[in-house]
C-alpha cells in the first residue's frame, strides 16, 4: 500500500511504524523483528488528531464567516490557520475589532499538543495529506448551515459580542459553541447561544456517546433504568473488573510512554491476562453481562406492564446522551462524500418516535471492522420494520481502557439531513 493511500485512511507518513528496523551490534547491521512496530499500534493517534483539527477548522470557519458573511472558502480557513493561529499557538485568543455596526467577534481555543506538529504543516492539506479536502468541506457546511445566524447578527441593529469557542471534552457533547452577548431593550446584558450553533462534531463516525471505564456498570443502569449492579455481580463482571484494576494500572499510557516503567511487549502480556479475565475467549463475564442486560430489557419491553415506561427510559437516555443537558445541540458530521446535520428538532422527533414504537433489544457478538475481535453489543430495533435505532458495543483499547460506545443505526440516520459536497 502506498503512503498516499495510507494517508487517505487517516495515517500520516511521519507516524508510520515499520515491522522491521536496522540494529547495529558489534559493528554489524542486521534486521530484527520489533513487536512494538506496526500500523495497528497507531490507529488511535491519527484519528484523534483529525478530530481535534476538525474542531479548530470549524471554529476558524465560523469566525471568518462572521467577519465576512459574503465569502468563505477552504483556502481562507487554511491561510488563517497558517498565518494567524500559528502565531498564537497553543493558546488562541483572537478578537476582531468592532465593525461599522459595533459588532465584535472573538475566537478562543487551545491547540492540543497532539496536533501542534501537524495542523500547521501545509503538506497535510495537500492531496493525500492527513487533512486533504477537509477545509473545503468545512467551508461549504459552515456557509450552508450558519449564514442565516451570521446575517442575523449583522442585520439586527444592535451591538453584539460574538464568542466562538472550541469546548471539546469540557462541554459534554459540545465541541464548538457560539454565543452572543448583548444589551436588551431594558438595559440588561444577556449572553445566550445562537440557534443550532452548539455543535457536536464528527468525522465519519457513527458514535454519539460512550460509557467508559470502571463506572460502566452504573452508567448502564442509569441509561436503561434497570439494576445493572445486580446483573454485574450475577455474571461475574463486578469481580472481574475488581481483578483487572491493578493490572490495568500497570499499562496506562503514562506508564508506557512517559514513565516507561513497562515495555510495550510486556504490557501486551498484561493485556492478554486482562483479556482472559474479562472476555475468556467469548465466554467471559463481559459477554454474559451484555447478554443478561439485553434479556432483561427485552423482558421489560415485551411485557404489558412497564413497557411504555421502559420505552420512555431508553428514548430519554438516547436524547440525554446526545444533548448531555447542555442546550440545543446540533450534530454535524463530515463524511467522505457528504456532510450530515442532525439538529435539535430532528433529535426531538427521533426521541418521540422511540417512545411510541414497539422496541426490541437484541444481544449480538460482532466485529466493528475486519480483523478485529468480535465483542458483545446490544441493538435496539423497531419491531415493525426491523430497523435499528442505535446499538451499544463494547471494546477495550491497548491500555485496557474499557469503552461502551453508542452508535447510530439506520433508523437513527434517516433523521439526518444529507448534503453532498460541491465538486
Cell numbers standing for residue 57: 477548522
CA distance 278 to 237: 7
Predicted local distance difference test score (pLDDT) of residue 329: 73
Pick the closest to residue 364 from 282, 278, 275, 241 (CA basis): 282
pTM: 0.73
Residue 283 φ/ψ, nearest 5 degrees: -125, 10
Pick the closest to residue 332 from 229, 219, 224, 419 (CA basis): 419
Confidence of residue 328 (pLDDT cuts 50, 70, 90): low
At 202, which helix (H) or strand (E)?
Answer: strand 189-203
Predicted local distance difference test score (pLDDT) of residue 343: 82
21, pLDDT greater than 90: no
35, pLDDT greater than 60: no
SS3 416: coil
At 148, which helix (H) or strand (E)?
Answer: helix 134-155
For residues 137-144, give the mean pLDDT.
96
Cell numbers standing for residue 294: 439485553
The separation between CA 210 and the C-alpha centre of its own chain, rounded to angstroms, equals: 9
Cell numbers standing for residue 141: 457546511
CA distance 313 to 319: 10
* pLDDT tens, residue by residue, 270-313: 999 999 999 998 999 999 999 999 999 988 888 766 678 888 88
Predicted local distance difference test score (pLDDT) of residue 33: 38
Torsion of CA 183, 188, 194, 200, to 10 degrees: 130
For residues 158 and 258, the model is more confident at 158
N residues, the chain = 423
Pick the closest to residue 379 from 352, 351, 409 (CA basis): 409
140, pLDDT greater than 90: yes
As to burial, measured by CB atoms within 10 angstroms (0-12 exposed, 13-18 middle, 19+ buried), residue 399 is: middle
**Poorest-confidence range of 33-37, 96-100, 153-157, 374-378?**
33-37
178, pLDDT greater than 90: yes
Confidence of residue 156 (pLDDT cuts 50, 70, 90): very high
Long-range contacts at 217-221 (CB < 8 A, ≥ 24 apart): 217/241, 217/289, 219/404, 220/293, 220/404
Tally of CA atoms within 13 A in the half-sphere of 30 that contains its CB? 7
Cell numbers standing for residue 206: 457513527
* pLDDT tens, residue by residue, 58-81: 999 999 999 999 889 999 999 999
**For strand 329-334 and strand 189-203, is the pairing parallel, antiparallel, or unpaired?**
parallel
**Poorest-confidence range of 39-43, 94-98, 291-295?**
39-43
At 397, which helix (H) or strand (E)?
Answer: none
As to burial, measured by CB atoms within 10 angstroms (0-12 exposed, 13-18 middle, 19+ buried), residue 184 is: exposed
By the 8 A CB rule, do 131 and 81 touch?
A: no
Cell numbers standing for residue 68: 465576512
For residues 99 and 206, the model is more confident at 99
Amino acid at each position: 500500500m502506498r503512503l498516499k493511500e495510507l494517508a487517505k485512511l487517516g495515517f500520516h507518513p511521519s507516524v508510520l511504524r515499520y515491522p522491521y528496523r536496522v540494529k547495529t551490534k558489534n559493528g554489524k547491521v542486521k534486521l530484527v523483528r520489533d513487536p512494538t512496530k506496526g500500523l495497528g499500534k497507531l490507529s488511535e493517534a491519527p484519528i484523534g488528531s483529525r478530530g481535534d483539527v476538525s474542531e479548530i477548522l470549524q471554529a476558524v470557519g465560523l469566525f471568518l464567516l462572521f467577519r465576512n458573511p459574503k465569502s468563505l472558502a477552504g483556502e481562507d480557513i487554511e491561510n488563517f490557520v497558517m498565518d494567524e493561529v500559528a502565531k498564537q499557538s497553543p493558546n488562541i485568543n483572537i478578537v476582531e475589532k468592532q465593525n461599522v455596526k459595533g459588532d465584535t467577534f472573538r475566537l478562543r481555543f487551545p491547540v492540543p499538543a497532539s496536533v501542534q506538529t501537524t495542523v500547521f504543516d501545509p503538506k497535510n492539506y495537500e492531496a493525500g495529506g492527513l487533512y486533504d479536502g477537509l477545509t473545503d468541506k468545512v467551508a461549504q457546511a459552515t456557509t450552508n448551515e450558519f449564514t442565516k445566524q451570521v446575517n442575523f447578527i449583522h442585520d439586527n441593529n444592535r451591538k453584539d459580542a460574538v464568542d466562538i469557542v472550541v469546548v471539546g471534552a469540557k462541554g459534554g457533547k459540545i465541541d464548538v459553541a457560539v454565543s452572543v452577548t448583548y444589551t436588551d431593550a431594558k438595559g440588561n446584558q444577556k449572553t445566550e447561544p445562537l440557534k443550532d450553533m452548539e455543535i457536536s462534531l464528527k468525522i465519519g463516525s457513527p458514535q454519539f456517546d460512550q460509557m467508559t471505564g470502571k463506572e460502566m456498570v452504573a452508567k448502564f443502569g442509569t441509561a436503561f433504568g434497570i439494576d445493572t449492579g445486580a446483573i454485574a455481580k450475577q455474571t461475574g463482571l463486578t469481580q472481574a473488573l475488581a481483578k483487572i484494576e491493578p493490572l490495568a494500572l500497570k499499562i496506562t499510557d503514562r506508564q508506557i510512554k512517559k514513565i516507561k516503567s513497562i515495555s510495550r511487549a510486556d504490557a501486551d502480556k498484561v493485556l492478554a491476562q486482562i483479556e482472559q479475565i474479562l472476555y475468556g475467549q467469548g465466554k467471559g463475564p463481559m459477554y454474559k453481562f451484555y447478554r443478561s442486560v439485553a434479556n432483561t430489557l427485552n423482558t421489560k419491553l415485551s411485557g404489558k406492564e412497564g413497557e411504555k415506561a421502559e420505552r420512555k427510559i431508553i428514548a430519554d437516555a438516547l436524547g440525554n446522551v446526545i444533548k448531555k443537558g447542555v442546550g440545543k445541540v446540533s450534530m454535524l458530521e463530515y463524511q467522505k462524500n457528504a456532510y450530515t446535520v442532525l439538529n435539535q428538532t430532528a433529535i426531538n422527533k427521533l426521541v418521540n418516535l422511540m417512545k411510541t414504537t414497539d422496541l426490541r433489544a437484541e444481544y449480538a457478538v460482532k466485529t466493528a471492522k475486519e480483523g478485529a475481535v468480535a465483542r458483545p453489543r446490544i441493538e435496539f430495533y423497531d419491531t415493525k420494520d426491523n430497523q435499528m435505532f442505535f446499538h451499544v458495543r463494547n471494546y477495550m483499547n491497548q491500555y485496557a481502557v474499557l469503552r461502551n460506545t453508542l452508535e447510530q443505526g439506520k433508523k437513527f440516520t434517516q433523521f439526518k439531513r444529507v448534503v453532498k459536497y460541491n465538486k
